[in-house]
């Protein structure tokens, strides 16, 4: 049997690796911003939003959350979806700011609206879980499908589970298989296991 949404163990590392490394947002204690940050460190003149977002990720990975927040904010102000995702993890993890799931979801939605497939997956998971917004399987499916259309294998896997269990869609084993095959073709281990268990 599979669980839809986030995989067991709560590790969203595959989804966040493109933005904020591989830290588990719930297990690591909050750390203060590093005092060695200077205004010279944040001179963004002539830098693209992509470079600023990368600098934000580097600062986040170095646990310099004050600098990460400022780099991500500068890049997000220029419409960079990865930076918006970075801000979602700053707020979602409470890194240098009070932890705020509502603000984190707001930034994930903005990132998703700017084409970030991982953010779309996480917005879908938010609607599936119903912890920050009311649970809504149809809205979750809408976000998962947008993410899957951009090649997100986790979303494909979850969509297969939605069809298997009839969450937000009519129960449909054939559609479950279609989506599990798509996820398996992308290398999703859970989908491969599902296909082995459902010959």
DSSP string, the chain: ----SSPTT---HHHHHHHHTT--TTTSPP-PPPTT--GGGG--TT--HHHHHHHHHHHHHTT-HHHHHHHHHHHHHTT-HHHHHHHHHHHHHTSSS---HHHHHHHHHHHHHTT-HHHHHHHHHHHHH-SSS---HHHHHHHHHHHHHTT-HHHHHHHHHHHHHTSSS---HHHHHHHHHHHHHTT-HHHHHHHHH--
Q: How confident is the model at residue 26 (pLDDT cuts 50, 70, 90)?
A: very low
Q: How confident is the model at residue 43 (pLDDT cuts 50, 70, 90)?
A: low
**Where is pLDDT greater, at 80 or 23?**
80
Residues 6+ apart with CB under 8 A from 126: 105, 108, 132, 133, 140
The pLDDT score that the predictor gives to residue 44 is 63
Task: Give CA–CA dist 95/98, Å, rounded.
Answer: 7
Nearest to 191, CA basis, from 156, 163, 148, 162:
156
pLDDT tens track for 85-127: 999 999 999 999 999 999 999 999 999 999 999 999 999 999 9
| Domains parsed from the chain with CATH numbers | 1-114 (1.25.40.10), 121-199 (1.25.40.10)
Residue 11, burial from CB neighbour count under 10 angstroms (0-12, 13-18, 19+): middle
Contact in structure between 159 and 142 (CB atoms under 8 Å): no
Check whether 11 has a pLDDT greater than 50: no
Structure tokens at 195: 């296909």
Give the pLDDT mean for 155-184.
95
For the chain, the average pLDDT equals: 83
* 56-60, 109-113, 162-166, 189-193: range with lowest mean pLDDT: 189-193
Give the pLDDT mean for 127-156.
96
């Amino acid at each position: 049997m599979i669980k839809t949404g986030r995989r067991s163990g709560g590790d969203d590392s595959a989804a966040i690796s493109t933005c904020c490394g591989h830290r588990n947002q719930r297990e690591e204690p909050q750390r203060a911003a590093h005092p060695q940050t200077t205004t010279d460190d944040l001179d963004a003149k002539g830098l693209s939003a992509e470079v600023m977002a990368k600098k934000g990720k580097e600062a986040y990975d170095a646990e310099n959350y004050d600098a990460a927040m400022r780099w991500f904010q500068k890049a997000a102000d220029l419409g960079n979806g990865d930076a918006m995702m970075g801000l979602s993890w700053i707020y979602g993890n409470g890194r240098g700011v009070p932890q705020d799931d509502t603000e984190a979801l707001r930034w994930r939605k903005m990132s998703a609206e700017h084409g970030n497939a991982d953010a779309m997956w996480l917005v879908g998971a938010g609607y599936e879980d119903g912890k920050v917004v009311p649970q809504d399987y149809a809205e979750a499916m809408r976000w998962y499908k947008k993410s899957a259309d951009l090649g997100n294998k986790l979303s494909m896997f979850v969509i297969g589970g939605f069809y298997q269990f009839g969450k937000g869609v009519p129960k449909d084993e054939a559609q479950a298989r279609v989506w599990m095959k798509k996820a398996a073709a992308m290398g999703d281990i859970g989908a491969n296991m599902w296909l082995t268990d459902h010959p």
